[in-house]
Amino acid sequence: MFGKTSPLSIGRRPFSLATGVAMAGALVLVGSSQVLAATAASSQTLAGTSSAGVLSVTAPAGLTLPSLVGGSSTAATNLGSLSWTDTLNSATASSVTLASTDLYFAAGVGGHIPFSNFTISVDQAPNANALNSGANAVAGAASQVLSGVDTTPGTTYSSPITLATASTTSVGTWNQAANKIAVGVPANTIPSSDFAATIQYTITG
Amino acid sequence: MTGRLLVAKAVRPSNRSCLLVLGCLVATLFTMVGAIPVAAASPTPDLTRPQLFGVHPLLQGQTTLPGGHFSFALVAGQTATDGVVVENFADQPLDFHIYGADLLTAVGGGLAPAQATDAMHEAGAWIVVATPRVTIPAHSRITSMFTISLPSAISPGEHLGALVAAALVGTSSQGSTIEARTALITNITVPGAISPSGRLGPLSRTPGMSRDVGFAIILSNTGNLLLTYVGSVDVLDRGGHTVASLSLAPASAYVVPGGHVGLDAVWPGLPSSGTYSARATVTILAKGRPVATLTSQSLPLSFASPAPIPPAVATALGGFVLAAGIVIAVRRRRRRPGRRVAVKQLSHNSDWISRDSCMLPAMTRSTTVRLSRSLFSDHAGCSSAICIA
C-alpha cells in the first residue's frame, strides 16, 4: 500500500510549463524565418522527450598526495573536480558529503594514518551550471577535520562531512573544483611505504 | 682583540636582523614556490563533463507520488516492493553495489546514508535489494528491484533510509581509490501518533577563538519526524538589551529522528570589557511548518580589560627594571676598551684590602680586572686606594 506522505513540490511545474511555452514560441519564430528565407522549404517538426530526473555524480578519478613526512603535515592538496546533478522533483534538499578511510599500509604501530588527521578545505564557491534553476548550492564549513569511530583501521569510514547542500528548489548541476586535503603524518609512520585510502563522495536527495 | 670582540658583539644584532630578514625572504619564496604547484593543480570547473552514473525511482513520473524519492505509508508487518533505475553514463562498464541504508545527519548538516558495512537500525535494516551486485555496461541502465518489510512492532512516525548505488570510479597510482555513491531517500511513514520534538544541549563558547566569540550548541531530534530548523543566538548586555543577534549555522539542515546536528554562531570582534549573556533560540519545523521553539540556558559572558597592577607588584617591578638597567649599563661600560683598569695589589698580607667602607679582594700584582669607575664614584676613599696602571 502506497500513500502520499510528502507535500508535492509545485514550484517547478509552472517553470516547466513556462519553458515549454517559450520553446514553442522559439520554434514558431525559427520556422517563420526559414519560410521567409527560402519559400520552397517545407516546415520541420522538432520533437524530443525529456529524460527522467536523475541524481548523479562525477567524482575525480584519483588522488596523489605529496610525500608523507613523519611528524609534519602535507601541503593542502587538491582533491580534484567533483560535480553532481540533481534534477529530481524532490521534496527533500540534496546533500553532497565526503567520507574517508585511514591511509593504510600495514597493521601495527605506524602502519596507518588515521582519518582524524585529515583536514578537508571545502570549496566555498560551488559553480552552478548556467541552465540551473532555483537557489545555488551552499558550501559546507570551510575547514573540517574528519572524525568518527575507527573500529577497523583502513576499512572503517569516517563520519561523513558536508561539502554542499542544495534546497528543494535547486535543480541542475554544480561543481566544486577546489576542495583540498591536508594530512597530518604521525612521527612514527613507517617510512618508505605506500599508504592508500578510499575517499567516498555521496550525493543524497 | 677584546675590542674586536666587542665590535663583533656589537654588530651581531644587526647580523641577526639581516639573517632574520633573509630567512623571512627565503621562507616566503619557498612558500610561494610551494603554493604555485598546488594552485596550478586545481582543475578548472567543468560543468559540461558528463556524469558518471545516476539513479531515479522506477515509477518516477508515473504516479502521483513525489518523484524524487521513495515515500511509503506502511503499517507494522507490511511489505512493499519498488525499484530503482541505475544508469551508467560512463564510457566503460561499472560495477555497482546497490543496498539499503539508514539515513544519517552528516557533520555540517547534510544528509548521508550509512556505510554498507554498518549495522542498520532503521529503514536500512528493512530494505532488501534483489540483485545487490551488478555490472552495468557503458551507457546502459538497469532496474534493481527491492522489498521493504516492516517489523511487526514498529513505532509510528517517519523512518528514514536510502537506496544507495555505489561504485569505485577511480584509483590513484598509490593505490588510493575513489568511491562515488548516489542515494535516494526512502521515507517510510507508519501511521499513529506523531510527535515532532527536539532538544537543545547546553550553549557553550567555542574554545580557541581569540579575536571573535564563538558559540556552539547541539540540536537533537527526539521525535519521530524529520526536522528542519531556524535558529539564532542573542547576546544581551547587562540591561537586557540585545546587542547582537547571530544566525546559527548550518542554516536549515535536516535532522533525522534520533539524530543530532552541531550548530555554531560567531560574534565578530571581542568586547574590551563588560558583562553580557547569550541565549540560543531554535524553532524546529516538521514538513516545513514550525512545531516548537526551543531556548537554551543563559550563558554568562564576562570580558575584562587587563587588571591594574597592585602597588607592591608595581614597586617590585620598577625596582627590578631599574636594577636590570643599572646592570646592563655597567656591563656596557666594562666592555669598552678605554675603561679597562689595572688594580695593583696594595697589601700582600691580607686577603682583603680595606679602607673606609670599601672592600676589595686581594690580587696578585699581575692581576688585571675590569672595573667600572661608576661603581666607585660614590666612594672617594676607595678611589684613592686604586692605582691606575
Beta strand pairing call for A198-204 and B177-190: parallel
Which of A55-64, B52-61, B316-325, B365-374 has the least mean pLDDT? B365-374
pLDDT, position B336: 56
Local structure of residue A156 (DSSP, 8 states): P
Over residues A5-60, the pLDDT tens digits come to 333 333 333 333 333 333 333 333 333 333 344 456 678 888 887 776 788 888 88
Of A19, A123, A115, give the one whose Cα is nearest residue A79. A123
pLDDT at A124 over 70: yes
Nearest chain B residue to A181 by CA: give it: B38
- Using 50, 70 and 90 to split pLDDT, how confident is the model at B364? very low
Measure in Å the smallest separation between the Cα of A31 and chain B Cα atoms.
29
8 A C-beta contact, residue B201 and residue B222: no
Measure in Å the smallest separation between the Cα of A78 and chain B Cα atoms.
6
Place of cell 516545513: B288
Residues 176-215 on B with a CB inside 8 Å of A are: 176-185, 187, 189
3-class SS of residue B294:
strand
Residues 264-283 on B with a CB inside 8 Å of A are: none
What is the Cα–Cα distance from B248 to B201, expressed in whole angstroms? 14
pLDDT, position B349: 42
What is the Cα–Cα distance from A6 to A15, expressed in whole angstroms? 21
Residue B142 forms beta bridges with which residues?
B86
Place of cell 679582594: B361
8 A C-beta contact, residue B192 and residue B157: yes
8 A C-beta contact, residue B219 and residue B230: no
pLDDT, position A29: 32
Q: Give A-chain residues touching B69 at CB under 8 angstroms.
A: 6, 88, 90-92, 205
Q: If you average pLDDT over each of A21-30, A35-44, B45-54, B367-376, which comes out highest?
A: B45-54
8 A C-beta contact, residue B250 and residue B230: no
Local structure of residue B272 (DSSP, 8 states): S
* Test mutation, B33, B51, B118, B206, chain A, max A CBs within 10 A: B51
Smallest Cβ–Cβ distance between A80 and the set B43, B53, B71 belongs to: B43
pLDDT, position B334: 65
Of A87, A12, A180, give the one whose Cα is nearest residue B51. A87
3-class SS of residue A112:
strand
What is the Cα–Cα distance from B188 to A2, expressed in whole angstroms? 10
Residue B115 near chain A (CB below 8 Å): yes
Place of cell 547582537: B244
pLDDT at B145 over 60: yes
* Test mutation, A95, A116, A143, chain B, max B CBs within 10 A: A95
Over residues B308-353, the pLDDT tens digits come to 556 666 677 667 767 777 777 777 766 555 444 443 443 444 444 3
Residue B74 near chain A (CB below 8 Å): yes
Residue B106 near chain A (CB below 8 Å): yes
Nearest chain B residue to A127 by CA: give it: B45
CA–CA distance from B120 to each of B49, B123, B125, B220 (Å)?
35, 8, 5, 20
HSE, CB side, 13 Å, CA atoms: give it for residue B366.
Answer: 0
Residue B324 identity (one-letter amino acid): A
Cβ-in-10-Å burial (0-12, 13-18, 19+) of A119 comes to middle
What is the Cα–Cα distance from B371 to B165, expressed in whole angstroms? 88
Of B205, B228, B230, B223, give the one whose Cα is nearest residue B282. B230
Measure in Å the smallest separation between the Cα of A72 and chain B Cα atoms.
15
The gap from C-alpha B84 to its chain's centroid, in whole angstroms, comes to 39
The reply to whether residue B184 touches residue A5, judged by beta carbons under 8 angstroms, is no
Residue B194 identity (one-letter amino acid): I
The reply to whether residue A97 touches residue B172, judged by beta carbons under 8 angstroms, is no
Q: In chain A, which ranges are E strands?
A: 55-58, 77-78, 82-86, 94-100, 103-104, 112-113, 118-121, 127-128, 138-139, 143-145, 161-166, 172-176, 180-183, 198-204
pLDDT at A172 over 50: yes
Q: Give B-chain residues touching A59 at CB under 8 angstroms.
A: 52, 169-170, 178-180
ipTM, interface predicted TM-score of the complex: 0.78
Nearest chain B residue to A104 by CA: give it: B176
The gap from C-alpha A117 to its chain's centroid, in whole angstroms, comes to 23
Q: In chain B, what is the straight-line distance between the N-terminal and C-terminal CA atoms, in Å? A: 19
What is the Cα–Cα distance from A1 to B79, expressed in whole angstroms? 8
Measure in Å the smallest separation between the Cα of B265 and chain A Cα atoms.
12
Local structure of residue A22 (DSSP, 8 states): H
CA–CA distance from B172 to each of A64, A65, A195, A197, B169 (Å)?
6, 9, 11, 10, 11
Over residues A68-121, the pLDDT tens digits come to 999 999 999 999 999 999 988 666 788 999 999 999 999 999 999 999 999 999
Residue B186 identity (one-letter amino acid): T
Q: In chain A, what is the straight-line distance between the N-terminal and C-terminal CA atoms, in Å? A: 23
Measure in Å the smallest separation between the Cα of A102 and chain B Cα atoms.
10
Smallest Cβ–Cβ distance between B65 and the set A4, A77, A200 belongs to: A4
What percent of chain B lies above the pLDDT cut of 90?
53
Of B205, B207, B196, B210, give the one whose Cα is nearest residue B296. B205
**Angle, alpha carbons B380-B384-B385 (nearest 5°):** 120
Mean pLDDT in residue range A158-167: 94
pLDDT, position B233: 97
3-class SS of residue B56:
strand
pLDDT, position B25: 37
The overall average pLDDT reported for chain B is: 76
Residue B285 near chain A (CB below 8 Å): no
* Test mutation, B88, B94, B172, chain A, max A CBs within 10 A: B172
Q: Give A-chain residues touching B85 at CB under 8 angstroms.
A: 52
pLDDT, position B341: 41
pLDDT at B86 over 50: yes
- What are φ and ψ of residue B163, in 5° steps? -95, 120
Which of B61-75, B99-113, B224-238, B252-266 has the least mean pLDDT? B61-75
Residue B288 near chain A (CB below 8 Å): yes
Nearest chain B residue to A65 by CA: give it: B174
8 A C-beta contact, residue B122 and residue B102: yes
